[in-house]
A and B are shown apart, each in its own frame.
Chain A
Amino acid sequence: KAGVTQTPRYLIKTRGQQVTLSCSPISGHRSVSWYQQTPGQGLQFLFEYFSETQRNKGNFPGRFSGRQFSNSRSEMNVSTLELGDSALYLCASSLAAGTSYEQYFGPGTRLTVT
């Protein structure tokens, strides 16, 4: 079974621009979560989507948003990029939501904001 795939793997953007990252979960998995990983703040939860609905949201500004499609694929968007948004953005998929299921991470998208 294929793992979680994320595209693109690397991205360079300029301050003020916006960016969209994509995640395809493991086949059969319906929950997708997004995390930000930085050397300073570590791994931080952004949001979780299940059945095209946001279930949980972390403590990030409104510039960070996401959505999920009917095939469980998910996208996250960051608008008005800031230098501090440079990070590895990780997507994780699990079977369902509502209780704690095993989450499997993708390789991440490395975003650099200049």
Chain B
Amino acid sequence: QQQVKQSPQSLIVQKGGISIINCAYENTAFDYFPWYQQFPGKGPALLIAIRPDVSEKKEGRFTISFNKSAKQFSLHIMDSQPGDSATYFCAATNAGNMLTFGGGTRLMVKP
């Protein structure tokens, strides 16, 4: 199975709060897990990525948590800001640049 399941589909968070988006996968051969942020009318922008030999990776306000045994990974956005309002996609691959994407999460951060 090549699916990546993402939840929730939409998320509303207050400014300053923590946004959490979850993804689950089935293919244990996946070896690279990036997250992308997409604003309306733009292409997806790479936010942060992790490989399965690491359980957590942090870049600024963005953190990926990775649970290999559960085949799950999540994106945490700390101190969420209205400018973070966008659609977020998780993805995975075991075949180089052939990404399998989750369905996306539309995040709205309320001021």
Q: What residues of chain A have their CB less than 8 Å away from a CB belonging to chain B?
A: 4, 31, 33, 35, 42-45, 48, 55-56, 58, 90, 92, 94, 97-108
Contact = CB atoms under 8 A, between A and B. Distances in A.
Interface residue SS majority, chain B: loop
Interface of B: 31-32, 34, 36, 41-46, 49, 51, 89, 91, 93, 95-104
Contacts of A103: 34, 46, 97, 99
Contact of B100 (A45, A90, A99, A102): A45
Given A56-B95, A97-B96, A102 B45 contact: no
Contacts of B95: 56
B89 to A, nearest CB: 6
B42 A107 contact: yes
Given A105-B44, A106-B43, A107-B42, A92 B104 contact: no
Given A103-B97, A105-B44, 9 more contacts: A42-B101, A43-B104, A56-B97, A99-B96, A100-B32, A100-B96, A100-B97, A102-B34, A102-B49
Contacts of A48: 96-98
Contacts of A58: 98
